[in-house]
């Protein structure tokens, strides 16, 4: 994981003037500052790892492609991490759709690329979808991750390094993976 974030995350993050690594570090920093536990901090750090393990490039949404990065990200992380990390990663796109359906002001806070990808991802959830999502065990963590995700797009924001977050990552490894 550290190698992916250190060596492969220099690609531009969506339509923003930051890299994939900067986005990951900003999200993890926010979770840490908000008093999140190791699982939430790790999930925030790794939530977009799916962008780094697929071969669709840095900005597939611009070509009208939903890269469904949450699925390969979840699959990639599942071998190593506990459900408290991988489920919020799997659900963070659904959390955006949920927030757009249930929080009147959330859509207005979305960045341009999040609006674009929302359309590709199915738009805001229906009432039935939202109720189903809210009942999932990791829905609250996914919503917290999603809020940190949306705010983690600040150019030139100083953050700790990847190494700073590795103790949190190590704490969340499955016993057989550690």
Q: What is the model's pLDDT at position 98?
A: 98
pLDDT for residue 164 is more than 80: yes
Helix, strand, coil shares of the chain, percent, nearest 5, are 60, 0, 35
Q: What is the model's pLDDT at position 13?
A: 54
Per-residue pLDDT of 103-126, as tens digits, reads 989 999 888 778 877 877 888 999
Per-residue pLDDT of 90-99, as tens digits, reads 999 899 999 9
Per-residue pLDDT of 135-152, as tens digits, reads 999 999 999 999 999 899
Options 3.40.50.1000, 1.10.3210.10, 1.10.238.10, 2.60.40.420; CATH of 2-171: 1.10.3210.10
The structure's pTM equals 0.85
Give the Cβ contact number of residue 84 at 10 Å.
17
Going from the C-alpha of 164 to that of each of 36, 49, 66, 155, 168, the distances in angstroms are 15, 18, 32, 20, 9
Beta strands in the chain (DSSP E): none
Q: What is the model's pLDDT at position 89?
A: 93
Let me know how long the chain is.
178
């Amino acid at each position: 994981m550290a190698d992916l974030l250190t060596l492969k995350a220099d690609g531009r993050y969506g339509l923003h003037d930051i890299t994939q690594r900067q986005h990951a570090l900003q999200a993890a920093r926010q979770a840490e500052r908000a008093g999140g536990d190791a699982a939430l901090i790790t999930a925030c750090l790794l939530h977009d790892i799916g962008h780094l393990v697929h071969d669709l490039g840095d900005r597939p949404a611009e070509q009208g492609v939903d890269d469904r990065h949450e699925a390969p990200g979840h699959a990639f992380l599942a071998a190593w991490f506990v459900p408290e990390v991988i489920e919020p990663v799997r659900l963070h796109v659904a959390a955006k759709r949920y927030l757009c359906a249930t929080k009147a002001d959330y859509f207005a806070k979305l960045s341009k690329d999040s609006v674009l990808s929302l359309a590709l991802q199915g738009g805001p959830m229906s009432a039935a979808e939202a109720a189903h999502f809210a009942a999932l065990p990791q829905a609250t963590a996914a919503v917290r991750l999603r809020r940190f995700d949306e705010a983690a797009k600040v150019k030139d924001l100083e953050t700790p390094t990847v190494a700073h977050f590795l103790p949190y990552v190590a704490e969340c490894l499955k016993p057989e993976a550690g």
